[in-house]
Amino acid sequence: MEQYDVVVIGAGPAGLFCALQAAVPGHRILLLEKNKNPGTKLLLSGSGQCNITHGGEIRDFLSHYGDHGKQVKPALFGFSNRDLISFFRERGLPMITEDNGKVFPQTRRSADVLAILVHECRERGIVLRCDEPVTGVTRLPQAFEIETPIATYRTGMLVITTGGASYPQTGSTGDGYRFSESLGQPVTKTEPALTPLRIRNYPFAELAGISFDCMHFTVWRAGKKIADTTGDVLFTHHGLSGPGILDASRNIQDDDEIRLSFVGHLKQEKFAADLMKRAGKNGTWQMRTLLAEYPIPERLNRILLALSGIHRNLTCAHFSAAQRSQLIMNCTQFPLTVSERGDYSVAMVTRGGVALDGVNLKTMESRVVPNLFFAGEVLDIDGDTGGYNLQAAFSTGFLAARSIRNRRAVL
């Protein structure tokens, strides 16, 4: 039996940051990780480049967490994106902000972010034990007992930072939900979030890899429009992806219809009027030439014409009313039906988790179990793409650590 002041389960960004921030002289902190190395999922962030946060004002972050923006406010305001950027800059890793607001380490290497976190843990005396999965957690009258295949640990304070269930190949298999429920902590239903969409009878497979910046699209369910948004969209071999689709996927269900506009922000009526004006002035033009006047890739041009029943060599002078109506619809509201959302193996984050109403979000301590804390994706917090989820992990980790330091100071 080994005794520690604090045990943190899960050495991802939330766990590493919580452990190093909770460290005070004389207190023993143990950080347990099931993988052979810490930060496995962090290394994949931003395709290995680590989109660590967003460069906007911290108050603007709140709208990027769905219905839970207000709940995450204490953590975000307690440790902001500016604080996070300063933390790494002061340790020799400056950040750069792209035009779209995404913030990356200047080196564009997730490994450099991880290296600093691990180094800081070691410098502060954190005991990091990898390749040691937790098999069970037991609540005692004045402590917690943590079981692994090789040891039993006892601690007065426990932090669960095991992540969600997305990318299970990185070790995120929902362990934290099981530990939480075994301790009596409520957990909400979980499902994949920020995930690509598979499309039924998908007509654009040959265009896989083509992306559209700031595409306007709407989402419909049972004939009712439920979302009207703009974002980057990527064609895949089986459907749709890209930041705009991933963000929208958090509220999309199977059988929903996505309607894409390929003509930018032109409304259907304005596009129709402009198309007819150009066709009327250029009767000898072929239809492929007419459609090339708009920001539509040439390969997509051919498919849209074919799906509208229009031969690409048809001249504008022979452009019928029925063909015109179908082409206008396909260019401004092309309908695609969702067959299914991507599963946990491709989802970037998990929606659902440890219920927020069971946590004091000013301290990250359980309202049900004293001295039990949470941070990161194990919580029912999921944000948009663009650095919002990593920022939440660092912010909640910091807030839990600050609460632990304060608690230890009183004790």
Q: Does one domain contain both 161 and 76?
A: yes
Q: Does one domain contain both 24 and 154?
A: yes
Q: Which of 283, 312, 342 is the last residue of a domain?
A: 342
Q: Is 202 helix (H, G, I), strand (E, B) or coil?
A: coil
Query: How many domains does the chain fold into?
Result: 2
Q: What is the pLDDT of residue 407?
A: 82
Judged on CB neighbours under 10 Å (0-12, 13-18, 19+), 193 is: buried
Q: Does one domain contain both 223 and 146?
A: no
Q: Does one domain contain both 72 and 203?
A: no
Q: Which of 308, 342, 376 is the last residue of a domain?
A: 342
Judged on CB neighbours under 10 Å (0-12, 13-18, 19+), 369 is: middle
Q: Does one domain contain both 222 and 207?
A: yes
Interaxial angle between packed helices 13-22 and 388-410, expressed in degrees from 0 to 180 and rounded to the nearest 10: 30
Q: Does one domain contain both 82 and 117?
A: yes
| CA 355/CA 65 separation, integer angstroms | 15
Q: Does one domain contain both 188 and 200?
A: no
Q: Which of 342, 359, 376 is the last residue of a domain?
A: 342
Report pLDDT digits (tens) over 212-267.
Answer: 999 999 999 999 999 999 999 999 999 999 999 999 998 999 999 999 999 988 89
Contacts of 312 (CB under 8 A, 6+ apart): 286, 287, 288, 301, 302, 305, 306
Range of the domain at 318: 196-342
Closest CA to 182 of 9, 314, 46, 24: 9
For the domain that residue 179 is a member of, what is the CATH number? 3.50.50.60
Q: What is the pLDDT of residue 87?
A: 98
Q: Does one domain contain both 102 and 188?
A: yes
Q: What is the pLDDT of residue 409?
A: 59
Q: Does one domain contain both 33 and 165?
A: yes
Q: Is 338 helix (H, G, I), strand (E, B) or coil?
A: strand
Burial 321-339 (b: 16+ CB within 10 A, else e): eebbebbbebbbbbebebe
Q: What is the pLDDT of residue 90?
A: 97
Q: Does one domain contain both 216 and 252?
A: yes
Residue 276: its H or E element: helix 268-281
Q: Does one domain contain both 97 and 245?
A: no
Task: Report strand pairing: 127-129 vs 211-221.
Answer: unpaired
Low-confidence ranges of the chain (pLDDT < 70): 408-411
* Token reading at 245: 């689709």
Q: Does one domain contain both 283 and 164?
A: no
Give the distance, in angstroms, between the CA of residue 130 and the centroid of all CA atoms in the same chain: 25
